[in-house]
Amino acid sequence: MSGVRCQMTDMASDIGHRALDFIKMNIAVIKYNSGNVQSVLYALERLGADAELTDDPEKILNADKVIFPGQGEASTAMTYLKARKLDQLIREIKQPFLGVCLGLQLLCEHSEENNTECLGIFPVKVKRFIPENSQEFKVPHIGWNELENLAENVLLKDLPDPKFLYYVHSYYAELSDATIASTHYIHDFTAILHRDNYWAIQAHPEKSSTVGEKLLSNFLSIK
C-alpha cells in the first residue's frame, strides 16, 4: 500500500511541475454542441492549463494542442462540424489532437449510430454493443474498466496501477492496427487509438481519477 501511495505522490509532484508549462500553453477545445465539455475544461484547469471552448477555425489552427471531447449523437455532431467546415479543418490539423468519447468515434470512418460517415482519421468502424445476455450486460456500458494490451506510447507513459477508466457509451471502436490499448465489455474493444498526431480515448479521462489525470497530463506534454 505504501508503494502505491509513493507512486501517487510522485505522479502528483510530476503533474505539479508540468502545470507551470501548461499555464503557458494555448489549448483549444472544439465546440460542436456536444455534452460533457465543461467537465473536460475543469479537468484541464486542475492541471493548470487554460483552455478555450471554440469553433473558430483560426483559434483551433493556432492552438498548441486541440481536444475534441463530448457526449451526444454521431450524425448530429457531424452535421454541426460540416456546416462550419470543421470536418475539413480537423483532417488538416498538424498539432497534437485528442478525441474523447464521442470524439474518438467521430475520428473513425463510420459509425452504426444512424449510419453516419465520420471523419476517417482512423480507418476503423464504430459499432453498437449487442448484449449476449441482457441480464448481465446493459447498454449503454456505464462503469469502470481496466486498460489492457498497452503499447509503448507517449500517451500511456507511467500510468499508475490499477489502470481503470470510467466509461459511458453504447457504441465502440473495433480493434485495429491503430489500437494502443484495449478493454473488455461483452467483448474486447478499442480503449485508445493513435495515428500520427491524433490520439483518442473512448473513456472519460476527466472522470477517471489519477489515471485519467495522467493521460491528460501526458497528452499536454507531447511535443
List active site positions.
101, 204, 206
Report the Cα 161 to chain-centroid distance in Å: 19
Q: What's the sign of the alpha-carbon dihedral 9, 11, 14, 20?
A: negative
Q: What distance in Å separates the CA atoms of residue 48 and residue 21, rounded to the nearest whole number?
A: 8
> How many CB atoms are located within 10 Å of the residue 47 CB?
19
Question: Are 48 and 22 in contact, with CB atoms under 8 Å apart?
Answer: yes
Q: Is 143 exposed, middle or buried (0-12, 13-18, 19+ CB in 10 A)?
A: exposed
Report the Cα 25 to chain-centroid distance in Å: 19
> How many CB atoms are located within 10 Å of the residue 21 CB?
12
Q: What distance in Å separates the CA atoms of residue 204 and residue 158, rounded to the nearest whole number?
A: 18
Q: What distance in Å separates the CA atoms of residue 205 and residue 88, rounded to the nearest whole number?
A: 26
